[in-house]
Structure 1
Amino acid sequence: MPCPLIANADVIRVTRVDACGRPVVGEDNGFVFDCFATLAMNPNVEEGEDVVYTAANGRSCGFKRGCPQFNGYDIELNFFSVSPEFIEITTGNPVVYDYAGHPIGYDDCSVKCNSGFAIELWAEVLGEDVCDADVGDGAWIYFLMPWVSNGLLGDMEIGSEAVSLVLNGATRAGGGWGRGPYNVVPTNAAGTPGRLLTPLGPTCHRRTMVTPIAPPDPVCAYTPVLQLAS
Protein backbone atom coordinates (compact mmCIF):
# COMPACT_ATOMS: atom_id res chain seq x y z
CA MET A 1 0.00 0.00 0.00
CA PRO A 2 2.37 2.73 -1.20
CA CYS A 3 -0.08 5.67 -1.17
CA PRO A 4 -2.79 5.25 1.49
CA LEU A 5 -5.58 7.81 1.55
CA ILE A 6 -6.99 8.84 4.93
CA ALA A 7 -10.78 8.67 5.10
CA ASN A 8 -12.90 9.47 8.13
CA ALA A 9 -11.66 9.06 11.68
CA ASP A 10 -13.02 5.95 13.35
CA VAL A 11 -12.13 5.30 16.99
CA ILE A 12 -10.06 6.94 19.74
CA ARG A 13 -8.54 5.23 22.76
CA VAL A 14 -7.04 7.05 25.73
CA THR A 15 -4.84 5.35 28.32
CA ARG A 16 -3.71 6.66 31.68
CA VAL A 17 0.06 7.12 31.99
CA ASP A 18 2.04 7.94 35.11
CA ALA A 19 4.29 10.92 35.78
CA CYS A 20 7.03 9.27 33.71
CA GLY A 21 4.83 8.49 30.71
CA ARG A 22 4.42 4.77 31.48
CA PRO A 23 1.04 3.10 30.87
CA VAL A 24 -0.75 2.34 34.13
CA VAL A 25 -2.01 -1.23 34.36
CA GLY A 26 -5.46 -1.71 35.87
CA GLU A 27 -9.17 -2.12 35.27
CA ASP A 28 -10.01 1.60 35.11
CA ASN A 29 -7.14 3.04 33.09
CA GLY A 30 -8.43 2.95 29.50
CA PHE A 31 -11.39 4.35 27.57
CA VAL A 32 -12.47 3.73 23.94
CA PHE A 33 -15.03 5.90 22.15
CA ASP A 34 -16.18 7.15 18.76
CA CYS A 35 -18.43 10.11 19.63
CA PHE A 36 -16.00 12.82 18.56
CA ALA A 37 -15.86 15.32 15.71
CA THR A 38 -12.20 16.16 15.19
CA LEU A 39 -8.76 15.68 16.69
CA ALA A 40 -6.39 18.54 15.81
CA MET A 41 -2.65 17.97 16.22
CA ASN A 42 -1.04 21.41 15.84
CA PRO A 43 2.77 21.66 15.81
CA ASN A 44 4.23 23.89 18.51
CA VAL A 45 7.35 25.39 16.93
CA GLU A 46 9.67 28.16 18.06
CA GLU A 47 11.23 30.01 15.16
CA GLY A 48 15.00 29.85 15.04
CA GLU A 49 17.04 33.03 15.19
CA ASP A 50 18.67 33.93 11.89
CA VAL A 51 22.28 35.10 11.91
CA VAL A 52 23.16 37.90 9.49
CA TYR A 53 26.71 39.09 8.82
CA THR A 54 26.60 42.69 7.60
CA ALA A 55 29.68 44.70 6.73
CA ALA A 56 30.15 48.33 7.75
CA ASN A 57 29.35 49.43 4.22
CA GLY A 58 26.01 47.61 4.37
CA ARG A 59 27.00 44.66 2.19
CA SER A 60 25.79 41.24 3.32
CA CYS A 61 28.77 39.01 4.01
CA GLY A 62 26.84 35.96 5.05
CA PHE A 63 23.55 34.56 6.28
CA LYS A 64 22.66 31.53 8.38
CA ARG A 65 19.05 30.44 8.70
CA GLY A 66 18.01 29.70 12.26
CA CYS A 67 16.89 26.17 13.08
CA PRO A 68 13.30 25.97 14.37
CA GLN A 69 12.72 24.24 17.71
CA PHE A 70 9.93 21.67 17.68
CA ASN A 71 8.25 21.49 21.09
CA GLY A 72 5.57 18.92 20.25
CA TYR A 73 1.90 18.99 19.33
CA ASP A 74 -0.86 21.00 20.92
CA ILE A 75 -3.91 18.77 20.68
CA GLU A 76 -7.54 19.85 20.51
CA LEU A 77 -10.17 17.14 20.66
CA ASN A 78 -13.78 18.06 19.92
CA PHE A 79 -16.09 15.41 21.35
CA PHE A 80 -19.75 14.93 22.22
CA SER A 81 -20.04 12.26 24.89
CA VAL A 82 -19.84 13.68 28.42
CA SER A 83 -18.23 10.61 29.95
CA PRO A 84 -16.92 11.01 33.51
CA GLU A 85 -14.44 8.18 32.90
CA PHE A 86 -12.92 9.84 29.85
CA ILE A 87 -12.68 13.22 31.55
CA GLU A 88 -11.11 11.70 34.66
CA ILE A 89 -8.38 9.93 32.67
CA THR A 90 -7.52 12.94 30.52
CA THR A 91 -7.80 15.79 33.05
CA GLY A 92 -7.30 14.09 36.41
CA ASN A 93 -10.54 15.61 37.74
CA PRO A 94 -12.50 13.31 40.08
CA VAL A 95 -15.54 11.26 39.12
CA VAL A 96 -18.87 11.66 40.94
CA TYR A 97 -20.61 8.34 41.73
CA ASP A 98 -24.22 7.45 42.52
CA TYR A 99 -25.41 5.36 45.47
CA ALA A 100 -24.56 2.12 43.60
CA GLY A 101 -21.03 3.21 42.68
CA HIS A 102 -21.78 4.06 39.04
CA PRO A 103 -20.11 7.14 37.50
CA ILE A 104 -22.69 9.88 36.96
CA GLY A 105 -20.59 13.04 36.68
CA TYR A 106 -17.34 14.79 37.41
CA ASP A 107 -15.98 17.80 39.29
CA ASP A 108 -14.00 20.61 37.66
CA CYS A 109 -11.05 21.28 39.92
CA SER A 110 -7.43 22.38 39.56
CA VAL A 111 -5.27 21.48 36.56
CA LYS A 112 -3.39 18.24 37.27
CA CYS A 113 -0.09 18.93 35.53
CA ASN A 114 1.45 15.70 36.89
CA SER A 115 -1.22 13.51 35.25
CA GLY A 116 -1.05 12.32 31.69
CA PHE A 117 -2.53 10.06 29.08
CA ALA A 118 -1.77 8.44 25.75
CA ILE A 119 -4.10 8.92 22.81
CA GLU A 120 -4.52 6.59 19.83
CA LEU A 121 -6.61 7.35 16.76
CA TRP A 122 -7.66 4.98 13.98
CA ALA A 123 -8.79 6.42 10.63
CA GLU A 124 -10.03 4.30 7.74
CA VAL A 125 -7.81 3.92 4.68
CA LEU A 126 -9.15 4.15 1.14
CA GLY A 127 -7.60 2.27 -1.74
CA GLU A 128 -8.21 -0.62 -4.06
CA ASP A 129 -5.46 -2.66 -2.42
CA VAL A 130 -6.54 -2.46 1.22
CA CYS A 131 -8.01 -5.97 1.01
CA ASP A 132 -5.30 -7.49 -1.17
CA ALA A 133 -3.52 -8.98 1.82
CA ASP A 134 -4.36 -12.50 2.94
CA VAL A 135 -5.14 -11.34 6.48
CA GLY A 136 -7.28 -8.60 8.00
CA ASP A 137 -10.51 -6.93 6.95
CA GLY A 138 -9.09 -3.67 5.68
CA ALA A 139 -6.56 -1.12 6.81
CA TRP A 140 -6.36 1.89 9.10
CA ILE A 141 -4.03 4.80 9.57
CA TYR A 142 -2.95 4.56 13.19
CA PHE A 143 -1.84 7.64 15.12
CA LEU A 144 -0.17 7.33 18.51
CA MET A 145 0.79 10.15 20.86
CA PRO A 146 2.06 8.18 23.86
CA TRP A 147 2.45 11.02 26.33
CA VAL A 148 0.01 13.93 26.56
CA SER A 149 -0.07 16.21 29.59
CA ASN A 150 -1.91 19.32 30.83
CA GLY A 151 -5.31 17.96 29.86
CA LEU A 152 -7.89 20.72 30.26
CA LEU A 153 -11.50 21.14 29.17
CA GLY A 154 -12.18 24.22 27.07
CA ASP A 155 -15.17 26.50 26.71
CA MET A 156 -18.65 24.99 26.92
CA GLU A 157 -21.82 26.64 25.62
CA ILE A 158 -25.19 24.96 26.11
CA GLY A 159 -28.18 26.16 24.10
CA SER A 160 -30.41 25.07 21.24
CA GLU A 161 -27.51 23.77 19.13
CA ALA A 162 -25.79 20.41 19.46
CA VAL A 163 -23.29 20.65 22.31
CA SER A 164 -19.66 19.64 21.93
CA LEU A 165 -16.80 19.76 24.41
CA VAL A 166 -13.15 20.55 23.79
CA LEU A 167 -10.17 18.86 25.40
CA ASN A 168 -6.80 20.61 25.13
CA GLY A 169 -3.41 19.11 25.89
CA ALA A 170 0.22 19.02 24.83
CA THR A 171 2.46 16.12 23.85
CA ARG A 172 5.76 15.31 25.47
CA ALA A 173 8.73 13.40 24.09
CA GLY A 174 10.28 10.36 25.66
CA GLY A 175 8.42 8.63 28.44
CA GLY A 176 7.95 4.96 29.17
CA TRP A 177 5.32 3.85 26.65
CA GLY A 178 7.83 1.51 25.03
CA ARG A 179 6.08 -0.96 22.72
CA GLY A 180 2.79 -0.22 24.46
CA PRO A 181 0.30 -2.46 26.29
CA TYR A 182 -1.91 -3.22 23.27
CA ASN A 183 -1.86 -5.45 20.19
CA VAL A 184 -1.99 -2.97 17.31
CA VAL A 185 0.24 -4.40 14.54
CA PRO A 186 0.74 -7.78 12.86
CA THR A 187 3.80 -9.62 14.08
CA ASN A 188 4.11 -12.26 11.35
CA ALA A 189 2.88 -13.22 7.89
CA ALA A 190 -0.20 -14.85 9.42
CA GLY A 191 -1.29 -11.47 10.78
CA THR A 192 -1.02 -12.35 14.47
CA PRO A 193 -1.75 -9.13 16.39
CA GLY A 194 0.94 -7.89 18.72
CA ARG A 195 2.50 -4.86 20.32
CA LEU A 196 4.52 -2.25 18.46
CA LEU A 197 7.62 -3.82 16.95
CA THR A 198 9.78 -0.86 17.98
CA PRO A 199 9.24 1.92 20.53
CA LEU A 200 9.25 5.61 19.67
CA GLY A 201 12.60 7.34 20.01
CA PRO A 202 13.39 9.59 22.99
CA THR A 203 12.80 12.79 20.98
CA CYS A 204 9.61 11.64 19.23
CA HIS A 205 6.09 12.87 19.96
CA ARG A 206 3.91 10.92 17.50
CA ARG A 207 3.88 7.79 15.39
CA THR A 208 1.78 7.44 12.22
CA MET A 209 1.53 4.14 10.35
CA VAL A 210 -0.77 1.80 8.46
CA THR A 211 -2.05 -1.32 10.19
CA PRO A 212 -4.49 -4.09 9.20
CA ILE A 213 -5.34 -4.70 12.85
CA ALA A 214 -8.85 -3.35 13.45
CA PRO A 215 -9.41 -0.78 16.21
CA PRO A 216 -11.10 -1.78 19.47
CA ASP A 217 -14.86 -1.49 19.83
CA PRO A 218 -16.09 1.68 21.54
CA VAL A 219 -17.27 1.10 25.11
CA CYS A 220 -18.81 3.87 27.22
CA ALA A 221 -17.04 2.70 30.37
CA TYR A 222 -13.55 2.14 31.72
CA THR A 223 -11.59 -0.54 29.86
CA PRO A 224 -8.73 -2.52 31.38
CA VAL A 225 -5.06 -1.98 30.61
CA LEU A 226 -3.31 -5.33 30.84
CA GLN A 227 0.33 -6.20 31.42
CA LEU A 228 1.36 -7.97 28.21
CA ALA A 229 4.36 -10.25 27.91
CA SER A 230 7.51 -8.58 26.64
Structure 2
Amino acid sequence: MTREPLITFDKIWKTYGHGEARVNALAGVDLAIDRGEFVAIMGPSGSGKSTAMNIIGCLDTPTSGKYGFLGVDAGRLDRNRRAVLRNLYVGFVFQGYNLLPRTTAAENVELPLIYRGIAAGERRDRAIEALEQVGLLGRQNHTPAELSGGQQQRVAIARAIVAKPTLLVADEPTGNLDTARSHEIMDLLTRLNAELGLTIVMVTHEADIAAYAQRTIGFLDGHIASDTMTREAA
Protein backbone atom coordinates (compact mmCIF):
# COMPACT_ATOMS: atom_id res chain seq x y z
CA MET A 1 0.00 0.00 0.00
CA THR A 2 1.38 3.38 -1.02
CA ARG A 3 1.75 5.83 1.85
CA GLU A 4 0.15 9.24 1.38
CA PRO A 5 2.64 12.09 0.79
CA LEU A 6 3.34 14.35 3.74
CA ILE A 7 2.71 17.50 1.65
CA THR A 8 0.42 17.95 -1.34
CA PHE A 9 -0.46 20.96 -3.48
CA ASP A 10 -3.57 20.42 -5.59
CA LYS A 11 -3.97 23.27 -8.10
CA ILE A 12 -2.74 25.88 -5.62
CA TRP A 13 -3.23 29.52 -6.55
CA LYS A 14 -2.03 32.47 -4.48
CA THR A 15 -3.15 35.86 -5.69
CA TYR A 16 -2.31 39.32 -4.37
CA GLY A 17 -3.99 42.60 -5.30
CA HIS A 18 -6.94 43.34 -7.54
CA GLY A 19 -7.58 44.55 -11.06
CA GLU A 20 -4.48 45.76 -12.88
CA ALA A 21 -2.46 45.28 -9.69
CA ARG A 22 -3.39 41.59 -9.48
CA VAL A 23 -0.40 39.26 -9.21
CA ASN A 24 -0.48 35.47 -9.26
CA ALA A 25 2.38 34.44 -6.98
CA LEU A 26 1.38 30.81 -7.55
CA ALA A 27 -0.64 29.75 -10.58
CA GLY A 28 -2.23 26.34 -10.26
CA VAL A 29 0.71 24.47 -8.71
CA ASP A 30 0.57 20.69 -8.20
CA LEU A 31 3.20 19.17 -5.92
CA ALA A 32 3.79 16.19 -3.63
CA ILE A 33 6.57 15.73 -1.05
CA ASP A 34 7.00 12.43 0.76
CA ARG A 35 7.99 11.86 4.38
CA GLY A 36 11.75 11.82 4.82
CA GLU A 37 12.54 13.77 1.65
CA PHE A 38 15.10 16.57 1.61
CA VAL A 39 13.85 19.08 -0.98
CA ALA A 40 15.48 22.30 -2.17
CA ILE A 41 13.27 25.00 -3.68
CA MET A 42 14.95 27.46 -6.04
CA GLY A 43 13.95 30.29 -8.35
CA PRO A 44 14.55 33.98 -9.05
CA SER A 45 12.95 36.77 -7.05
CA GLY A 46 9.20 36.79 -7.68
CA SER A 47 9.14 33.18 -8.89
CA GLY A 48 6.78 32.00 -6.16
CA LYS A 49 9.27 29.96 -4.12
CA SER A 50 8.84 31.99 -0.91
CA THR A 51 5.05 31.94 -1.27
CA ALA A 52 5.18 28.15 -1.65
CA MET A 53 7.39 27.87 1.42
CA ASN A 54 5.02 30.01 3.49
CA ILE A 55 2.08 27.81 2.55
CA ILE A 56 4.07 24.63 3.24
CA GLY A 57 4.98 25.99 6.70
CA CYS A 58 1.35 26.97 7.39
CA LEU A 59 2.38 30.62 7.66
CA ASP A 60 -0.01 31.50 4.82
CA THR A 61 -2.98 29.98 3.02
CA PRO A 62 -3.74 29.57 -0.70
CA THR A 63 -6.29 31.73 -2.48
CA SER A 64 -7.69 28.55 -4.04
CA GLY A 65 -6.77 24.91 -4.37
CA LYS A 66 -6.01 22.42 -1.62
CA TYR A 67 -2.93 22.28 0.58
CA GLY A 68 -2.70 18.90 2.27
CA PHE A 69 -0.42 18.37 5.27
CA LEU A 70 -0.50 15.03 7.10
CA GLY A 71 -3.75 14.30 5.29
CA VAL A 72 -5.40 17.47 6.63
CA ASP A 73 -6.68 20.28 4.37
CA ALA A 74 -4.38 22.74 6.15
CA GLY A 75 -5.15 25.59 3.78
CA ARG A 76 -8.68 25.80 5.20
CA LEU A 77 -7.67 25.90 8.85
CA ASP A 78 -8.16 29.18 10.69
CA ARG A 79 -5.22 31.10 12.11
CA ASN A 80 -5.38 29.47 15.55
CA ARG A 81 -5.55 25.92 14.22
CA ARG A 82 -2.66 26.57 11.84
CA ALA A 83 -0.65 27.85 14.82
CA VAL A 84 -1.37 24.61 16.68
CA LEU A 85 -0.32 22.58 13.65
CA ARG A 86 2.94 24.53 13.32
CA ASN A 87 3.69 24.13 17.02
CA LEU A 88 3.15 20.36 16.92
CA TYR A 89 4.64 19.39 13.56
CA VAL A 90 6.83 22.10 11.99
CA GLY A 91 10.24 23.51 12.88
CA PHE A 92 11.68 26.63 11.24
CA VAL A 93 15.23 27.77 10.48
CA PHE A 94 15.77 31.28 9.07
CA GLN A 95 18.66 33.11 7.48
CA GLY A 96 18.90 35.55 10.39
CA TYR A 97 18.94 32.93 13.22
CA ASN A 98 16.24 34.87 15.18
CA LEU A 99 17.77 34.11 18.58
CA LEU A 100 16.92 36.09 21.70
CA PRO A 101 20.13 38.06 22.39
CA ARG A 102 20.13 38.10 26.20
CA THR A 103 19.31 34.45 26.76
CA THR A 104 21.57 31.41 26.66
CA ALA A 105 21.71 28.84 23.89
CA ALA A 106 19.78 26.36 26.03
CA GLU A 107 17.09 28.92 26.86
CA ASN A 108 16.70 29.77 23.18
CA VAL A 109 16.30 26.10 22.32
CA GLU A 110 13.70 25.62 25.07
CA LEU A 111 11.29 28.21 23.64
CA PRO A 112 9.10 25.87 21.53
CA LEU A 113 8.69 23.61 24.55
CA ILE A 114 7.43 26.48 26.70
CA TYR A 115 4.53 26.92 24.26
CA ARG A 116 3.73 23.24 24.76
CA GLY A 117 3.57 23.63 28.52
CA ILE A 118 6.43 21.23 29.21
CA ALA A 119 7.93 21.40 32.70
CA ALA A 120 11.21 23.26 33.20
CA GLY A 121 13.31 20.22 34.04
CA GLU A 122 12.23 18.28 30.96
CA ARG A 123 12.66 21.39 28.79
CA ARG A 124 16.26 21.73 29.92
CA ASP A 125 17.03 18.04 29.32
CA ARG A 126 15.55 18.12 25.83
CA ALA A 127 17.35 21.37 24.99
CA ILE A 128 20.70 19.85 26.00
CA GLU A 129 19.91 16.76 23.91
CA ALA A 130 19.12 18.93 20.87
CA LEU A 131 22.29 20.98 21.32
CA GLU A 132 24.27 17.73 21.46
CA GLN A 133 22.63 16.62 18.19
CA VAL A 134 23.93 19.78 16.47
CA GLY A 135 27.41 19.53 18.00
CA LEU A 136 27.12 22.27 20.63
CA LEU A 137 27.26 20.31 23.86
CA GLY A 138 29.19 22.48 26.33
CA ARG A 139 27.95 25.73 24.77
CA GLN A 140 24.51 25.67 26.38
CA ASN A 141 25.24 28.59 28.71
CA HIS A 142 26.67 30.88 26.03
CA THR A 143 24.62 33.82 24.74
CA PRO A 144 24.40 34.47 20.98
CA ALA A 145 27.04 37.23 21.28
CA GLU A 146 29.48 34.61 22.54
CA LEU A 147 28.90 32.31 19.55
CA SER A 148 30.04 32.48 15.93
CA GLY A 149 27.51 32.80 13.11
CA GLY A 150 27.74 29.10 12.36
CA GLN A 151 27.22 28.25 16.02
CA GLN A 152 24.23 30.58 16.22
CA GLN A 153 22.66 28.81 13.26
CA ARG A 154 23.29 25.48 14.98
CA VAL A 155 21.40 26.80 18.01
CA ALA A 156 18.56 27.82 15.69
CA ILE A 157 18.52 24.30 14.21
CA ALA A 158 18.49 22.79 17.70
CA ARG A 159 15.53 25.02 18.56
CA ALA A 160 13.77 23.84 15.39
CA ILE A 161 14.23 20.13 16.16
CA VAL A 162 13.82 20.13 19.96
CA ALA A 163 10.09 19.42 19.73
CA LYS A 164 10.77 16.54 17.30
CA PRO A 165 8.84 17.99 14.35
CA THR A 166 7.72 16.06 11.29
CA LEU A 167 8.83 18.85 8.94
CA LEU A 168 11.73 21.29 9.01
CA VAL A 169 11.32 24.42 6.87
CA ALA A 170 14.62 26.21 6.19
CA ASP A 171 14.62 29.65 4.54
CA GLU A 172 18.10 30.43 3.14
CA PRO A 173 19.72 28.73 6.16
CA THR A 174 23.26 29.52 4.96
CA GLY A 175 22.58 33.02 3.65
CA ASN A 176 24.54 34.79 6.41
CA LEU A 177 27.45 32.34 6.53
CA ASP A 178 30.79 32.02 4.75
CA THR A 179 31.46 29.07 2.47
CA ALA A 180 33.06 26.81 5.08
CA ARG A 181 30.36 27.40 7.69
CA SER A 182 27.65 27.00 5.02
CA HIS A 183 28.86 23.53 4.15
CA GLU A 184 29.10 22.60 7.84
CA ILE A 185 25.45 23.55 8.29
CA MET A 186 24.43 21.61 5.19
CA ASP A 187 26.34 18.54 6.40
CA LEU A 188 24.40 18.85 9.66
CA LEU A 189 21.02 19.12 7.91
CA THR A 190 21.87 16.15 5.71
CA ARG A 191 22.75 14.09 8.79
CA LEU A 192 19.54 15.08 10.60
CA ASN A 193 17.53 14.12 7.53
CA ALA A 194 19.22 10.71 7.38
CA GLU A 195 19.36 9.88 11.09
CA LEU A 196 16.04 11.32 12.27
CA GLY A 197 14.03 10.77 9.09
CA LEU A 198 13.26 14.48 9.24
CA THR A 199 11.52 15.89 6.17
CA ILE A 200 13.30 19.08 5.11
CA VAL A 201 12.06 21.74 2.68
CA MET A 202 14.74 24.37 2.07
CA VAL A 203 14.62 27.57 0.03
CA THR A 204 17.98 28.61 -1.41
CA HIS A 205 19.35 30.56 -4.36
CA GLU A 206 22.71 28.78 -4.30
CA ALA A 207 23.16 25.72 -6.53
CA ASP A 208 25.96 24.25 -4.40
CA ILE A 209 23.68 24.40 -1.34
CA ALA A 210 20.73 22.90 -3.22
CA ALA A 211 23.00 20.02 -4.26
CA TYR A 212 22.84 18.67 -0.70
CA ALA A 213 19.12 17.96 -1.16
CA GLN A 214 17.76 14.78 -2.71
CA ARG A 215 15.42 16.75 -4.94
CA THR A 216 15.45 20.26 -6.40
CA ILE A 217 12.26 22.05 -7.45
CA GLY A 218 12.64 25.17 -9.57
CA PHE A 219 9.94 27.85 -9.59
CA LEU A 220 9.42 30.42 -12.33
CA ASP A 221 6.55 32.90 -12.70
CA GLY A 222 4.35 31.06 -10.22
CA HIS A 223 4.82 27.66 -11.85
CA ILE A 224 7.08 24.68 -11.24
CA ALA A 225 9.60 24.89 -14.07
CA SER A 226 11.70 21.87 -13.06
CA ASP A 227 11.61 19.01 -10.57
CA THR A 228 14.82 16.96 -10.45
CA MET A 229 16.06 14.12 -8.28
CA THR A 230 19.67 15.03 -7.46
CA ARG A 231 20.54 12.05 -5.26
CA GLU A 232 18.91 9.02 -3.71
CA ALA A 233 17.28 9.24 -0.29
CA ALA A 234 19.48 8.12 2.59
TM-score, scaled relative to structure 1: 0.26
Specify which structure has the higher proportion of strand.
1
Whichever of the two has the greater Rg, that structure is 1
Specify which structure has the higher proportion of helix.
2
TM-score, scaled relative to structure 2: 0.26
